Amino acid sequence: MIGRLNHVAIAVADLDAAERQYGDLLGGILSAREDLPEHGVTTVFVRLSNTNIELLHPLGMDSPIAKFLEKSPSGGLHHVCYEVEDIRAAMERLVAGGARVLGREPKIGAHGKPVIFLHPKDFSGTLVELEQA
């Protein structure tokens, strides 16, 4: 069911510093910043030859990333994102198999495509995002 790894998301407390680290220090190619109010985040993608790294910064105090950073002030791995061919078929299969999908409907993610998140307790403690390819 899952396809390629689309990205690894890292929550960051200081987006300017993270851009310098991944852009200047590591030599990554950075996307422009994008605010996603529906998700409560500002994102920057670091383009790699085989996948991407998504830098996540809180957009407002109600952001899930703000809550993450309260527990892990220095930031850290937030989620992994895998591509799927059909997001609705994936949801049905996962729910039928006992997995918990967070939210009732897919939302539009940073790439303009439908995404869903899967409960970390169902996937070895890892928050999983699925994005329609």
Rounded Cα distance, 14 and 74, in Å: 9
Looking at the DSSP assignment, which residues form a beta bridge with residue 52? 7, 47
DSSP-derived secondary structure letter, 48: -
Active site members = 129
**Of 36, 45, 44, nearest to 63 (Cα)?**
36
Rounded Cα distance, 127 and 102, in Å: 10
Q: Please name the residues in contact with 41: beta carbons below 8 A apart, sequence gap of 6 or more.
A: 35, 56, 57, 58, 59, 63, 64, 65
